[in-house]
C-alpha cells in the first residue's frame, strides 16, 4: 500500500513509500557503505565525508557544475538576466533540431510521463494539455511566467492533486487518481515545498526523521544517527535539537532537503527516486542559493551496478524563477505558458531559442506575447 506519512500534507517533503514491503530484518550494520567525498558546499577547500544516500554500493558523487557547463557559459549567464545573443533563425533552428535529434528514445528510461494533463480551479483553466516525460537520471527545470501552473503540475506529478483530464504514468503504469489511493511501487517521489514547510513544533531531528519515526521499524537511536549523518550531508552540524524558528531561511531549506533525501537504510531494496523541488532557492541570497543549488546537484547521485547499468539514480525536477538555479542545477528545461508546454530544450539552448515567448522571458522584456 502506498501512503503518505501520517496523511500529513503540510511538511515540505512527502515521500511515497511502500509500507507493505516494510523494512527488512537486515540491520544497517550489515550494509557495506562505501564512503564518498563531496566537496563541502560551504568551503570547497575542505572535503567532508558522506555516504551515498541512494544505495549501498560505490557511487561517484560530486558537487558539480551543470554537465554542459563550460567556463564560456559564465559569460552568457553573468548578469541578473540572461544575456541573450539572438542567432539567426537558421542558426537557431539548426541548434534546436540538434537538440531534438539528441532526445533519447528509450521508453524504458521514462520514470514519469504527463500526457495531455488538464487542471482547472473553478473557472480558471490552469493546465490545458501538458505533456512531457522525465527520464531516468535527468535534471529538469520547469520554468514559465507566474501563475502558469508550475507548482500545480509538480503536485500532480507527486500525486497530491489529480488531473481533471489526461494521464500521469509512473514507470509506464497509469496512475488514476491520487497517489495515496493507489498501489504504486518501483518509484519514490518526493516533493520539497517552496516554503520548506517544516513542522514548527518539532525539532530538526524530528522533522528530518519524520517519515522514519512514523513508518519504519528502525530503532530511534539508529534514526537519530541517520538524521545526524544526513544533516552533515547537507552541510548542517549540531542543529538536531533546534526548532525551525531558530534557523535561518537557508538552513530551513537545507533541513527540508535533508528530509527529502533520508531513507530507511534497513531496506534491502531502495527504489529509485524522483525529487521534485518547488522554488528551492526563492528568497535566498545569491550565496545561499549557490549552496542549495550545489546540494541539489550533489544528492543527484549517479552510479552503475556491477552490470554497468545505472541504478537508483534520483532524477529531479526543479520549478524555479532563478537564473542561477537554471544555470547551476538543471540540464534540461520545460517552459510552461498559458497552460501548455511551449518549449523544451537543454539549458544552453534556452538563450538561443527563436521562440518568441522564450525570447521575451529570457530578456525580461515587456514587449512580446506574454502579457501581464
Ligand atoms: N488549490 C487551488 N485552488 C484554487 N486556485 C489554485 C489552487 N492552486 C493553484 N491555484 C491557482 O492556479 C494558478 C497556478 O498556480 P501555480 O501555483 O501552479 O502557479 P505557478 O506557475 O507555480 O506560479 P508562481 O511562479 O507564481 O509560483 C494560480 O492562479 C493559482 O492561484
Beta bridge partners of 173: 170
316-357, pLDDT tens digit by residue? 999 998 888 898 899 999 999 999 999 999 998 988 888 999
User: In the numeric block, which cell numbers belong to residue 271?
Assistant: 527504489
Cell 521499524 sits on residue: 217
What sign does the dihedral 287-139-339-15 (CA atoms) show?
A: negative
Which ligand 1 atom is at minimum distance from the Cα of 194?
27
Pocket test for ligand 1, best of 151, 276, 317, 342 (most atoms within 8 A of CB): 151
Atom 16 of ligand 1: nearest residue by CA position: 149
Cell 526523521 sits on residue: 209
Q: Label residue 47 by pLDDT band (50, 70, 90).
A: very low
Lowest mean pLDDT of 86-90, 188-192, 229-233, name the range: 86-90
Q: Where are the domains of the chain?
A: 106-187+322-371
173 and 184 Cβ atoms separated by less than 8 Å: yes
Task: Name all residues whose Cβ lies below 6 A of ligand 1.
Answer: 121, 124, 126, 146-152
130-188, pLDDT tens digit by residue? 999 999 889 999 999 999 999 999 999 988 899 999 999 988 888 866 665 555 566 77
Cβ contacts of 301 within 8 Å, gap of 6 or more = 36, 52, 53, 54, 55, 59, 61, 312, 313, 314
User: In the numeric block, which cell numbers belong to residue 363?
Assistant: 530578456
Cβ contacts of 98 within 8 Å, gap of 6 or more = none
Instruction: Determine the pLDDT at residue 27.
Output: 34
> 121 CA to middle of ligand 1, Å?
9
Q: How many CB atoms lie within 10 A of CB 26?
A: 12
Pocket test for ligand 1, best of 150, 279, 334 (most atoms within 8 A of CB): 150
195-236, pLDDT tens digit by residue? 667 888 899 999 998 888 887 788 888 899 989 988 887 788
- Distance of alpha carbon 73 from alpha carbon 303, whole angstroms: 27
Q: What are phi and psi of 15, to 5 degrees?
A: -105, 130
302-315, pLDDT tens digit by residue? 544 444 444 455 68
Which ligand 1 atom is at minimum distance from the Cα of 144?
21
| ipTM of the predicted assembly exceeds 0.85 | yes
DSSP string for residues in 186-229: S-EEEEE-TT----TTS-HHHHHTHHHHHH----HHHHHHHHHH
Atom 24 of ligand 1: nearest residue by CA position: 146
pLDDT over 70 (residue 48): no
Q: How far is CA 278 from CA 11, 34, 321, 344, 369, in A?
A: 13, 31, 10, 19, 25
* Full-model pTM: 0.69
- Out of 3.40.50.300, 2.40.160.20, 1.10.443.10, 3.40.50.1370, which CATH number does the structure's domain 106-187+322-371 have? 3.40.50.300
Amino acid at each position: 500500500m502506498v501512503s503518505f506519512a501520517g496523511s500529513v500534507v503540510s511538511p515540505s517533503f512527502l515521500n511515497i513509500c511502500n509500507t507493505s514491503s516494510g523494512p527488512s530484518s537486515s540491520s544497517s550494520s550489515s550494509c557495506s557503505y562505501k564512503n564518498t567525498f563531496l566537496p563541502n558546499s560551504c568551503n570547497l577547500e575542505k572535503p567532508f565525508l558522506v555516504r551515498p544516500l541512494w544505495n549501498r554500493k560505490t557511487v561517484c558523487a560530486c558537487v558539480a557544475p551543470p554537465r554542459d557547463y563550460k567556463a564560456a557559459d559564465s559569460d552568457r549567464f553573468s548578469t541578473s538576466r540572461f544575456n541573450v545573443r539572438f542567432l539567426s533563425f537558421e542558426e537557431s533552428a539548426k541548434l534546436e533540431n540538434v537538440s531534438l535529434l539528441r532526445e533519447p528514445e528509450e521508453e524504458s528510461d521514462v520514470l514519469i510521463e504527463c500526457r495531455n494533463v488538464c487542471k482547472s480551479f473553478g473557472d480558471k483553466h490552469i493546465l490545458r494539455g501538458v505533456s512531457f516525460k522525465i527520464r531516468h537520471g535527468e535534471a529538469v527545470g520547469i520554468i514559465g511566467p507566474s501563475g502558469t501552473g508550475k507548482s500545480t503540475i509538480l503536485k500532480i506529478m507527486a500525486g497530491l492533486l489529480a488531473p481533471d483530464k489526461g494521464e500521469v504514468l509512473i514507470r509506464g503504469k497509469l496512475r488514476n487518481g491520487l497517489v495515496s489511493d493507489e498501489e504504486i511501487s518501483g518509484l519514490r517521489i518526493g516533493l520539497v515545498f517552496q516554503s520548506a514547510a517544516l513542522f514548527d513544533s518539532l525539532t530538526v531531528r524530528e522533522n528530518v526523521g519524520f517519515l522514519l519515526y512514523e513508518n519504519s521499524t528502525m530503532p530511534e537511536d539508529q534514526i537519530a544517527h541517520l538524521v545526524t549523518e544526513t544533516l552533515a550531508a547537507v552541510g548542517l552540524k549540531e542543529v538536531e535539537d533546534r526548532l525551525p524558528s531558530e534557523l535561518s531561511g537557508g538552513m530551513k531549506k537545507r533541513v527540508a532537503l535533508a528530509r527529502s533525501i533520508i531513507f530507511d537504510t534497513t531496506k534491502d531494496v531502495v527504489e529509485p527516486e524522483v525529487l521534485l523541488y518547488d522554488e528551492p532557492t526563492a528568497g535566498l541570497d545569491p550565496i545561499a542559493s549557490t549552496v542549495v543549488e550545489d546540494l541539489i546537484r550533489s544528492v543527484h547521485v549517479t552510479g552503475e551496478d556491477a552490470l554497468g547499468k545505472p541504478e537508483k539514480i534520483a532524477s529531479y525536477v526543479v520549478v524555479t524563477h532563478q537564473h542561477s538555479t537554471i544555470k547551476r542545477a538543471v540540464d534540461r528545461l520545460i517552459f510552461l505558458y498559458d497552460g501548455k508546454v511551449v518549449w523544451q530544450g537543454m539549458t544552453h539552448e534556452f538563450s538561443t531559442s527563436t521562440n518568441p515567448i522564450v525570447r521575451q522571458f529570457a530578456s525580461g522584456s515587456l514587449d512580446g506575447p506574454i502579457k501581464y
